[in-house]
């Protein structure tokens, strides 16, 4: 007999408002409003022990831990029916992406470990997401959002009568998330609006156009408040009836569900490693959902390596928020101090790692909690270290990673002197180079 889902519900990390796991379209905290977006739902669950079914598809391998699975169970869908929804949607995605969701490589990289001076007991473990759906980890976050939408349609709970009447999806993104969202949308013939910065590169725009996305460039406008104009235009589209389909937890909390699969995959491998445990995890942080989810997933295993959320000197709002939170009551459970800790970066964000130049770290609460729980802390890499990590990744590995995708390695370079030679550390290469 299949075990019951383990997720029991949502609760706002700011105001503590509960939301039932059975709630349809539970994107945001009920208290979130146009004048107060400082709310984010977090999952209430207990995962122990963490076990994979062994399926190659992570959404099947870890199905019972997904909030989506718990949600679908409340709609009277049995386990086999829920599994079929995952597989059918994965098949549709593979037609467009050339691959479905599969467990991605995670192993010690001997060349990079030697290059950075680690001994045989320590080293660098690379999680390679560059061959995941749409070339990054972003599709993991979005897949549970799409599962939610498709499931609601299947059981007849959608407010539209047929797929031809679906409201458009919407996302604010400068690259990988936009491509991932457009890939998934194209797989199910769902219209999507993609709000990109005015400097979006031509390679990304070409891919988005090939996926039939409605691309909207968003220059900074003097009448806007401080913050990302793409997010402002995205929110306007949501107010006009579009469905949030992005990777910012405050806008659609379901992105925080599927994103955990990357952490679960690493955790089950790490538990079988002989000798010393993984001690640190370096994860690049823009909007913050990636770092929060990777840590949340990994921490469901037997160990909690120190989380180091990596930002660049050109845009480091999470590092600033963590420092303020620590000095004003602690970095954990700082949601009630949102306005005191997190606000948009004052200067125009600049870095070669342009995929992590979010004006705000929207999922900063989850990131701060994970760093506090693990004894970790943010790392701010210099632009020179961003350049060095990108060059090093291409010189030493055969992974065709982007500058954004290798930014976690820049964090390791930044504090390498603090890391012992016998420590085992993780870097995640997420984001294939676009040419």
pLDDT in tens, 64-117: 999 999 999 999 999 999 999 999 999 999 999 999 999 999 999 999 999 999
Closest alpha carbon to 408 in 374, 432, 385: 385
CATH of domain 7-96+138-256: 3.40.50.1100
Give dist(CA 193, CA 231) in Å, integer.
12
Tell me the pLDDT tens digit for each residue of 378-434. 999 999 999 999 999 999 999 999 999 999 999 999 999 999 999 999 999 999 998
CATH of domain 106-135+259-429: 3.40.50.1100
Its sign, for the CA torsion 151, 154, 155, 157, is positive
Helices (H), 155-258: 176-187, 202-210, 229-239, 255-258
Task: Give the domain ranges of the chain.
Answer: 7-96+138-256, 106-135+259-429
Q: Is the pLDDT of residue 1 over 60?
A: no
Exposure pattern of 349-379 as b/e (b: 16+ CB <10 Å)? bebbbbbbbbbbbbbbbbbbbbbbbbebbbb
The pLDDT score that the predictor gives to residue 306 is 98
Give dist(CA 189, CA 181) in Å, integer.
12
The pLDDT score that the predictor gives to residue 275 is 83
Helix (H) or strand (E) holding 426: strand 424-429
Give dist(CA 310, CA 379) in Å, integer.
5
Q: Please give the C-alpha separations between residue 1 and each of 4, 52, 79, in angstroms, as whole numbers.
A: 9, 16, 10
Please provide the average confidence, as pLDDT, over all residues in the chain.
Answer: 96
pTM above 0.85, yes or no: yes
For 106, list phi and psi in degrees, rounded to 5. Answer: -150, 110
Segment among 186-190, 210-214, 221-225, 238-242 with least mean pLDDT: 221-225
Give dist(CA 34, CA 53) in Å, integer.
42
The reply to whether 7-96+138-256 and 106-135+259-429 are identical in fold is yes
Beta-strand relationship, 214-218 and 306-312: unpaired
The pLDDT score that the predictor gives to residue 218 is 94
Cβ contact 204:196 at 8 Å? yes
For 401, list phi and psi in degrees, rounded to 5. Answer: -85, 155
Give dist(CA 250, CA 364) in Å, integer.
10
Q: Is the pLDDT of residue 158 over 90?
A: yes
Q: Is the pLDDT of residue 319 over 70?
A: yes
């Amino acid at each position: 007999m299949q075990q019951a889902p383990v997720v029991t519900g949502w609760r706002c990390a700011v105001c503590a408002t509960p939301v039932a796991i059975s709630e349809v379209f539970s994107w945001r905290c009920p208290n979130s409003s146009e004048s107060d977006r400082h709310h984010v739902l977090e999952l209430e669950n207990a995962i122990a022990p963490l076990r994979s079914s062994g399926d190659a598809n992570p959404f099947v391998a870890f199905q019972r831990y997904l909030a989506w699975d718990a949600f679908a169970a409340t709609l009277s869908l049995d386990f086999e029916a829920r599994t079929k929804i995952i597989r059918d949607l994965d098949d549709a995605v593979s037609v467009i992406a050339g691959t479905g969701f599969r467990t991605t490589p995670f192993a010690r990289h001997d060349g990079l470990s030697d290059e950075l001076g680690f001994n045989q007991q320590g080293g660098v473990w690379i999680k390679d997401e560059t061959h995941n759906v749409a070339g990054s980890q972003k599709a993991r976050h979005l897949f549970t959002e799409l599962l939610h939408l498709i499931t609601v349609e299947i059981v007849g709970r959608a407010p539209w009568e047929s797929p031809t009447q679906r409201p458009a999806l919407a996302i604010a993104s400068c690259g990988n998330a936009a491509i991932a969202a457009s890939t998934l949308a194209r797989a199910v013939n769902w219209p999507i609006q993609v709000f990109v910065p005015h400097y979006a590169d031509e390679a990304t725009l070409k891919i988005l156009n090939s996926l039939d996305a409605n691309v909207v460039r968003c220059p900074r406008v003097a009448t806007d408040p401080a913050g990302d104009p793409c997010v402002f235009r995205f929110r306007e589209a949501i107010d006009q009836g579009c469905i949030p389909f992005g990777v910012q937890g405050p806008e659609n909390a379901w992105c925080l569900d599927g994103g955990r699969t990357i952490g679960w995959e690493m955790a089950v491998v790490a538990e079988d490693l002989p000798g010393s445990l993984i001690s640190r995890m370096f994860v690049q942080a823009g909007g913050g959902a990636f770092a929060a989810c990777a840590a949340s997933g990994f921490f469901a295993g037997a160990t909690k390596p120190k989380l180091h959320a990596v930002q660049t000197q050109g845009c480091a709002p999470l590092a600033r928020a963590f420092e303020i939170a620590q000095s004003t009551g602690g970095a954990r459970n700082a949601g009630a101090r949102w306005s005191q800790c997190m606000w948009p970066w004052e200067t125009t964000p600049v870095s070669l790692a342009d995929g992590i130049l979010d004006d705000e770290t929207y999922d900063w609460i989850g990131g701060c909690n994970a760093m506090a729980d693990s004894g970790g802390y943010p790392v701010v890499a210099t632009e020179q270290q961003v350049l060095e990590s990108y060059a090093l990744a291409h010189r030493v590995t055969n992974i065709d990673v982007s500058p954004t995708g290798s930014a976690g390695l820049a964090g390791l370079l930044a504090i390498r002197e603090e890391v012992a030679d016998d420590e085992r550390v993780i870097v995640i290469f997420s984001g294939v180079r676009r040419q």
